[in-house]
Amino acid sequence: MTGHPEDEKIRFFTGTYQLFPAELLAARPVVELDLGCGAGSFTAELARRYPERTVLAADVMVGRLRKLVKRCDRLKLGNLEVCRTEARHLVALMLPDGALDRLHLLCPDPWPKGRHRSHRLLASDFTAQLHRVLKQDGVFHFSSDDEYYCDAVRRVIAASNLFAECPEAIADLTDIRSDFELRWNAEGKPVHHVAYRRIPAPPHTVGH
């Protein structure tokens, strides 16, 4: 026992190569993932709005996840699974192909200093993994208060040839805010949202 009763409702993934439980992904026909969910303002409202969907909430910070568990208990949400895991491992190693209908990556750390940009989640290899874990026509939803980061994400996504911009794919979410978006809005900072729909990967060109 950790002394925190909320921990009983958090799935702790400690192994780098631990596969995500298939029964969670099969429980309902639609599965959404909030990657880096924080304390879960966005996640909880998404789950409340769509009780017929499975909503996965993943973060590495246990304190934030405990707050989300308390919120789930207050709202009596039975379709939200709270997971403690590292974002890269979850997408690249743990989730099977075609697992998700929508993946939300909202207000991640922009790592604005040049020497830190390798820490950014959105790079070409991660984009390929996003494509892998999304279902056909699945949606990737990204937001940031850093306009330069948004532009960088647009360039990476465009260069991948794996997604088509599709703002209408998140039209049902325009009134839901993540914890960080609420914070930035309170400080007068706008938050930029982009959405992309998965398209088939282009065929590889074989040289002669």
Q: Give the pLDDT confidence score for residue 180 in this predicted structure.
A: 86
Q: Give the pLDDT confidence score for residue 147 in this predicted structure.
A: 87
* Pairwise CA distance, residues 38 & 52, whole Å: 23
Q: Would you please indicate which residues are annotated as catalytic (active-site) residues?
A: 109
Alpha helices in the chain (DSSP H): 22-26, 41-49, 62-75, 87-89, 124-133, 147-160, 179-186
Most distant CA atoms of the chain, gap in Å: 64
CB atoms within 10 A of CB 200: 10
Binding residues: 34, 59, 86, 109, 113, 145
The 10s digit of each residue's pLDDT in 69-120 is: 999 999 999 999 999 998 888 999 999 999 999 999 998 865 444 544 454 5
Q: Are 1 and 23 in contact (CB under 8 A)?
A: no
The 10s digit of each residue's pLDDT in 9-55 is: 999 998 766 889 999 999 999 999 999 999 999 999 999 999 999 99
Q: What residue ranges do the domains of the chain occupy?
A: 5-11+22-108+120-198
* CATH architecture assignment, domain 5-11+22-108+120-198: 3-Layer(aba) Sandwich (3.40)
Binding residues for substrate: 113, 145
The 10s digit of each residue's pLDDT in 119-155 is: 456 666 889 999 999 999 999 999 999 888 889 899 9
